[in-house]
Structure 1
Amino acid sequence: MQQEHEASESKTTFLSLMSHEIRTPMNGIMGMISLTKDKLEPGSQAMQYMEKADELSEHLISLINDILDMSRIEAGKVELEKKPFSINALGSRLYDMFAENLKERGIAYSVNYENMTVDEVVGDELRISQVIINFLSNAVKFTSQGEVSVTFRQMMLHDGVIDLMVSVHDTGIGMSPEFINRIFRPFEQESISTAKEYGGTGLGMAITDNLVKIMGGEIVVQSQPGKGSDFFVYLHLPVFEESQETENVSAEAGGQPENGQEASVGSFSGRRILVAEDNEINAMISEEILKSMGAEVEIVENGQLAVDAFAGHEAGYYDFILMDIQMPVMDGRTATRTIRGLDRADAQQIPIFGLSADAFVEDVRKSKESGMNGHFAKPVDFPELERSIGELIAKKV
């Protein structure tokens, strides 16, 4: 038993190291592509090359995420969060995520609610979203005409627990009964021709099935070749009560705006940002992109220098801090705790965000526990960072 535990811990440590070692250069590659695209003429051949490189980078990081996610599931290291979230808000985000793409292709798309008397429930919104998004992504990929729909249906409500069914329906190419029997095995594709035409690794379904099982739920699949598919997810979720204590931990590395509104473009204009980043290339990329958003940027190489810079200026000098996690001299979380402990009024108020290659849910939790307001995983989606942080800053004004 002890040996199994040690082996599991060793695998987890290895995965965390691999995540960091892979994501750090990927952040540099994708950042360089983004900076290069800003300097190219739209429609030029060079721009087309960069756009293809961008697409390939996105595919590669998606594959890396899937492999690491599957490995953590197999190691038994997936932690579920318990926090309140709105089913209606989740549905709205799912609609916004796919509506434009499907509209352009002439495919009807809807998100529906049936028999819903409950809106706020307690659970792992990130993982539930991941499951539904995977089914939706496949529905979008394999449907060329007709419709795609998501339905949230309240089956039962008993003893403060809702039995929720979420279904994803499409009129796509469908699947054979034989493939349905093996669809949730890792790296499974219905055929070589399907894999070549539509792409994908076959890991998404295996991850989805495992996540639903971890949440104590069940997946049912109905499909026929040429007649589309229906995926049903059954979950049991506690109804949120105002007095209920839940883990107040961000469910997403990038975070989501609480009121659904987007920050205005250029929301960093005139903002002064302190960035703690020990990797020279990533520091340069962060500085260039944040400056292009209108910000004034100061770069320091470690957490101790970030503490010194904050303490050495008057209150309100910096609008917010972006803090890498793994740095020499002093790591980002220790630096955050140190800043929060300073005897000055703005030490508790200044927004501090993790900017890290540590991308697992547990890493987000550790960042929040150290006093950070949020955690952005590398490769960093800077437009999303601008929107999320811009909205938070706007609320404080």
Structure 2
Amino acid sequence: MIQYNYKLNWSAEDQGFEDKLNKIFQTLCMRPASKQANAIFIQLSFHNMGMGMAEKIREKIREFLPRAVVAGMTEMLFTPEGTTSYVRINCSFFQNAKVRLLEYDGVPENFGKLGLEMGQKVAAMQDVRAAMVMGVMAPKLSKFIDNFVVGNENVVVFGAIAGMYEDAIDAAEETALSSSLFSVDPGNKEANQFILGSAPMAHGLAVVLFSGQKLSVRADYTLGWKPLGKEMTITETMGQCGISKLDDMPAVDIYRHYLKVVPDENFLQNIAEFPMVIDRNDCLIARVPPGFDEEGRIFFTGDVRVGEKVRLSYAVLEDFLHETELASEKMSQFAPEALFLNICGSRGLFLQEKAQLETIYYQRSANQLNACSGTGEIYCYQGHGGILNCALVAVGFREGSSKSALTVYDEPMEEAANAPVRLSARVAAFLEAVTKELEETNQELRNMATETEKSSIDKYRFLSSVSRDIAEPLQTVIEMDLRVQRESKEPHIRAYAKESRIAGRKVYRVIQRIFDFLAMEAGHFKLNEGEYRMDHLLDSLRAELAESAGAKGIALEFQLEGDVPSVLYGDELRLRQLLINLLGNGVKYTQQGSVVLGIKAEKTGAAETELHISVKDTGIGMTEEQMAELQKILDMNVDVTNTTLNDTGIGISVTQRILKMMGSGLSIRSRLGEGSELSFALRQRVLSWIPLRQEADNLERVEQEETETISPEELAETWEALREIADAQEKESLDYMLETLTGYSLPEREAALLLELQAAAKEENWDLIQKLVQ
């Protein structure tokens, strides 16, 4: 195997450019290795050159070296060289190995599926040792890589990403970036971003496969940055490659807080020396955001995931370069015959005028290597890696038996014992010491948290057992009171039983609140979703609270606004518990007037609605001090005093925590002497859009009897809902709607369509379903 490297500058005015190309390819044709090679691989690297010129170069290769497998991409440069235009031609002649090309032109409809299909092809081939992947940046490219490596864990997968950040945002997630990679590589243009396979591709993938029994491959991944400071959790993302929130704070504020960097036109240059790092699959992966938007979100050239832990990192220039030098020395021991480097352009931002040193280190063992800088690097081997950033990936090839290691390194000079220590070394030592101490402190805190959690679980288990021991006989007492009230003919005995039953129910609800509070503290509280009927839920609320409200002479009213769906999918038990808590508090603190439950439904999708629920009372209201204490509970402030957590406090705390698990939160408005209003919004899936009806404050259930007819208005609403469900392809919602319609007497045309819809639904023929519902 032998490798040759050429660089040819280009300008539109250079009339001799084609002659220079001819000379290079003629020289390669005349090489003895060209005649003896079993396979030829040519990698092209472009900067500030259009696809038309790339196609001409590709045709020249077909003319002179028709056997050659060709792949290439545009480069991203953050150095002074970024204003130049050139093509780098790197040719490798393989004596025994085979080189093959897989490619995909365009944007795949399903990146994961394409990765699996290509990966299966590679796994079926013999002796594949390495795969070079080049792709134009896309937010779902990580899905391709994740699936491509399945079954190919022992294949070195490496490469780079071409393209600017603007191509990385899904069409459904368009946002105006206030910063981009264009600002740091003005020599490049958006129209000049492409990869090359058999032809230039504005979007697509090129995968070059290297195989052979005698082919040896060594791959090294060098980062150079070290984690610093505390871990932060990604709590909200946008698409595949954007972070909206870190520790529930706007992501861009992290740089403002730790580095005093504001998001402006110099954002990328100011933060490039402090990448975020993620520990993923035992591999430290860096991320530098080249873009941000006005919402405080930051965007990367690689994927990010909710729940991942990230930290800022730092590097000292001398140590950074020394790590690269050590990696290059290890590569020299492998004695590569061909060497490929993928170097992130952000390393050039950090190293500045010393950026070329990283390439020079590796050139000492392979002086004709090819170095390519993209907007992201690819490295996967034996389950480690992925789409990288800020990295240097070196992949060496060798055919035949092992050769003697090259001896190109001089022993480093030892500094005198009394030599002054450089400032950068002192800063590095200080940061490492602080980071180590922080890690030790964090470990101590984690151990304390583990002990606290164990204590909470033990407390939960003990008190939950006690709560059950109290709740079970109490429930028996309540049932006995009800029997006494029904069977006794003496008014005063019945009155005693009624008061006893009301008090027993209050105690029972308090026990339930305490039990839920403890379960949440121990982390054992979970939602259990399922189908439920809204009319049944409201009936149970009325039955639970009507007696205690009536005993105080308070009106308990239910008011519906809009078309509230009759059948929903969610956690009915927890929703009922929320409303019992809020309505119960309203009854408790209202001496006269009313407690009103209001429900308004707002359609948000083909099978989804947002319920706006409020509980308004005419009770005593709250002072500003009481509102402040209650707000602490809503914020779940750990410093809330125990005196605040009375019956009402526990109920509000449990309510807020349940709502947070449901993706909502409680809002409170109150004035002393004027009552209170508590409200929240809750998204629920809809299984039947047939609405509940309200007449004179009485809820009329829509019973689905076989002989019941359906009004034209309800039929029109139902058919509109079916159209939206068909467009969204919601199978469960469609089945429920069709089952519901079978309970009605339908007009002849709609009845015939219903039969056809049921048949199409069984086959899940969505094209036919969409035609029928029109």
Q: TM-score, normalised by structure 2?
A: 0.27
The structure whose Rg is larger is 2
As a proportion of its length, which structure holds more strand?
2
Structure with more contact order per residue of length (Cα contacts < 8 Å, sep ≥ 6): 1
